[in-house]
Structure 1
């Protein structure tokens, strides 16, 4: 019985790398990366014009346009639905009912 358990454990250890290699993605070639960059630029993305504040939105919008042109429905990359206002400035009207500044009188 112990030899059977050892044999099964050995088979699992030897089969694990084969399964993990079968599911890995192949790296992109330079030609594929260049083709993707050309598609993004044709979709309106210009990396020399964008700034750090608009980079994520610009590239995601271009990726969404490229995906729509290619008919891709893989769900990988591109623009996502929903929004996030992390770090957005809160308006004074929403924080206080009065029109006074929070620093008034200090």
Structure 2
């Protein structure tokens, strides 16, 4: 009887960590892949960021490129050379 209790406890101690690792991450904090990082770098470079020449202005350069990307994808933005609204008649 005592041996079966010890065996049950030992099995539970071994099995519990495997259940913890088996849970899916539903919080949206899943790790990103290398392909996602590379795709993001390509998008930022296409927006004007140059990683080779931005040692001095690193935060400002990449933030400007990301702001440009975010502005391109923003809802309700104003396109260049156009106005939002009716013409005023006198």
TM-score scaled to structure 2, two decimals? 0.50
- Of structures 1 and 2, the one with the larger relative CO (CA 8 A, separation 6+) is 2
Please report the TM-score for the alignment, with normalisation by the length of structure 1. Answer: 0.43
